[in-house]
Amino acid sequence: MSANANRETNAIVTLREITEKTVVPICKLSDTLSAVQKTMVAPNAISIAQAHYNKYLWCRAIYADETPAGFLMLYDDPDEPKYFLWRLMVAGPYQGSGYGAEAVRLLIDYVRTRPGAKELLVSCGEGEGSPEGFYAKLGFKRTGEMVGDEVVLNLMLWP
């Protein structure tokens, strides 16, 4: 996956596999979230465990240069034309830096390489701490669907 320079900080944002050496620091990033944000996204340790037992979950650490800054997880089943961003978390100290937006752009580039990919879906809670505004700035729009108590948003990958 190619690295892109973050315009706001000049850090290079990359998506990297989580390894035996990096799993603990990536898990500890969840501790940097506010109490409200912790209600909006599962801890990274839970997500990594889920990915270990589900062959369709693709997870990556978000790095800014050599610093772990977040985590994302994609539902990636090449037999289904739907790709779903299950988890995205940017550590508290790095929120507002543009790292999350750049990570989603890198994810979009990846999803475009997947079989039958036409859209990227995500769901999020509403109210205080909701990331819906963040996704809207990236072009995601409400679909009118709900997953539990979360609204579903989508981004069309091709014009």
Closest CA to 4 of 74, 60, 63: 63
Q: One digit per residue, pLDDT tens: the chain, 159 residues?
A: 445 544 456 899 999 999 999 999 999 999 999 999 998 899 999 999 999 999 999 999 999 999 999 999 999 998 987 799 999 999 999 999 999 999 999 999 999 999 999 999 999 999 888 899 999 999 999 999 999 999 999 999 987
What residue ranges define each of the domains in the chain, with the CATH number in brackets?
4-156 (3.40.630.30)
Amino acid in position 35:
A
| Backbone phi, psi, residue 156, to 5° | -75, 135
pLDDT at 6: 47
Q: What is the structure's pLDDT at 5?
A: 47
- Rounded to two decimals, the pTM is 0.92
- The predicted pLDDT at position 1 comes to 43
Q: What pLDDT score does 80 carry? A: 83
Q: What is the pLDDT, as a whole number, of residue 2?
A: 42
pLDDT the model gives residue 81: 75
